[in-house]
Structure 1
């Protein structure tokens, strides 16, 4: 069993629920909101992720949990989702021996914390059992503390939120076992031996079993200890094992649509689209002077209309550039840097350096749009673009570190109607750059 590094966070900024404490797994307010008494919360929660699959259904050589989405392995997103829930004390990932080193590299590169590795078995159930053994106190050289409740989750379900994790854990605390479910999308039919329809199930009476699932640790560990070789080899449903061997009926918890599992190649594109959508929900407009504040405000208001579901914030730097680190947060991966007439290469370089040194570009592609506002009747766009050719070289440099830099000229006309039209065109261009996050567009000088 390998322990991952704890040197830096998997994501900058605060944890979702605050810091974990020794005797309390959940903030009382969150538990109460979930319908459970604060005094009934578990004292220790861990998670097990089976990640030993080969991705046969995806039809690619790389196991799907290691396939890259926006240049980052899929499993890293799942680990990040669990790490952000501070009351999950330990996360055990079961991977095959041949992928153990690759998993260690992921932990190291993306700074994942609270991660331990266990060697996966030949099947899903054997991998889960291996992860449970790593948490059990009855195993030799056990380096982890046995939890009261254990979450079992798929390494390729990256969009799990704290709310559903909390609900299945609290239901498991009360019932011994719990699992997320979703309505069936298609009707399930049973074929006869001759390949013809035998019967169909009433879709309204059945549900799809999803992840996460949660169990009192002693319940699921005892179930796996009693499992037959047939169960370990061919079984798929953990809730059924708890029922079969420990007579524990699982509480079923309705889960959100985002719990779907990345199974086929097209699912990777869907996952990428969802991640892009999530990280495009906040944009920071940065200005440096009072003259730019008015332009920044106008652009901010137009952007709000263009991206009506996004949060648009603005930050003003002082004359010396201010503390750039103050607005580099885990919530924002899109920055609009507004200047009027002048363009300060050194100030831009300082900002990009601070951005590169943060962990943001490591986790997601970060979009930076340098917006230069000028009156085209005074300064022809072609002349200004020539003076901004340094953006292309800079963009090529920072692109290597996952920062996508583009330049945008906006006609800051004295004619109010023309100004509004230019701002609207600029907002449309910015929206496209933010939503697409295309490396191919980095280094482009655009005109609105």
Structure 2
């Protein structure tokens, strides 16, 4: 998922760099004890799977990738402790600690805040950000704004314009009055607090506050006199509440994952030329792509990356891979790419797509149609799928007598390739499609 604040990919927002590094410490509390009744699903929504990964893991990653976030406390119902611990281990989250929640939301949040006490975590943070576990699309720049406003004002919170008019009803269920929508805002997450402000607020809470309160900012105002700075947040702050929201979340994640691709040439002139044409067409789909070639097989007239297999930086980026081969099998090179991705553990957090595009320039029957390579592709794809790598094949035939390929054939290939990368349809993995 692209984040607005990561200008150079180092994980530290521009604001912190302008201030010469992180000027204070920030930790996060993620309450995740909800039962998810409104989704109508047997699994609480925070643990529902989106692209082979629990929703809460995406939310954790949104914070964990930021170098200026020190600790993340996830608060879950006691019966979910083992499940949450397994998620942390499986997806290698390193900044996370799990604590048991209470009977209500505020009791759970207070448990998370107390877990950040110096006596338990080793360093009490200056600022605590509280965020819902089922809001995975929080942006880095906005988190920075919340953290800075909390440091300066004691508390801060996200707001959004009201979508619907709020009305009050009488005891007989008739309209009593309506509120002027322009004067009101919807309170959202994240919310930020100086540690001592939110800690003291919870220490002073009554049983009524703990049992029926819903607004952390109100508790800070009521019990510590701290007025929160309110900041209008982006539309991406929406919360997964209903079953349909899970489908929407998957669509957003797919869009973010199909935004870039690494086109790997086999080193031949035709492969390079076609790769350049494909690169231009993919740009019309808002997909950023780069062309790589095996080291030593190309001249210096192109600004290209070295061989993707030999350059770990290529494998560390959130790219998909399009591997081109002309006439020769090329399947061994595809296998090499898959093995390199597996070794780099690139598919841990989301499925990676590898599309093998094989150009056949023979005038007779395609070797792909007569040989055993389709079976080998299926076998390779089946093994790769177990590692969360989706491998597809595309066969494109054109005659050597032709001057080249048509714009239409390049466009058809680009559209098919983009669809495979976007949809990530596991049932099509191992298929050799024809463009």
Q: Same fold (TM over 0.5)?
A: yes
Q: Is the 8 A contact 1:17 1:86 kept in 2?
A: no
2:79 maps to: 98
Q: Is the 8 A contact 2:378 2:431 kept in 1?
A: yes
From the superposition, tell whether residues 225 and 251 of structure 1 become closer, same or farther in structure 2 (CA, over 3 Å): same
* Alignment match of 1:44 (pick from 8, 25, 32): 25
1:404 maps to: 390
1:439 maps to: 426
1:128 maps to: 109
* Alignment match of 2:282 (pick from 303, 316, 334): 303
- Number of aligned residue pairs: 418
Deviation, 1:424, is 1.3
1:337 maps to: 323
Alignment of 1:15-164 (within 5 A): 18=10, 29-31=14-16, 38=19, 42-137=23-118, 142-164=120-142
TM-score (norm 2): 0.90
Distance 2:423 2:152 in 1: 45
Deviation, 1:185, is 1.4
Q: Is the 8 A contact 2:330 2:358 kept in 1?
A: no
Distance 2:27 2:167 in 1: 37
TM-score (norm 1): 0.88
From the superposition, tell whether residues 404 and 288 of structure 1 become closer, same or farther in structure 2 (CA, over 3 Å): same
Q: Is the 8 A contact 1:381 1:409 kept in 2?
A: no
From the superposition, tell whether residues 188 and 343 of structure 1 become closer, same or farther in structure 2 (CA, over 3 Å): same
From the superposition, tell whether residues 319 and 344 of structure 1 become closer, same or farther in structure 2 (CA, over 3 Å): farther
| 1:147 alignment partner, SS class | coil
From the superposition, tell whether residues 39 and 310 of structure 1 become closer, same or farther in structure 2 (CA, over 3 Å): closer
Alignment of 1:160-239 (within 5 A): 160-239=138-217
CA-atom RMSD in angstroms: 2.3
Q: Is the 8 A contact 2:153 2:227 kept in 1?
A: yes
Q: Is the 8 A contact 2:359 2:397 kept in 1?
A: yes
Q: Is the 8 A contact 2:100 2:111 kept in 1?
A: yes
Deviation, 1:281, is 0.5
Deviation, 1:97, is 1.5
Q: Is the 8 A contact 1:285 1:314 kept in 2?
A: yes
2:302 maps to: none
From the superposition, tell whether residues 326 and 216 of structure 1 become closer, same or farther in structure 2 (CA, over 3 Å): closer
Unmatched tracts of structure 2, length 5 or more:
1-5, 298-306
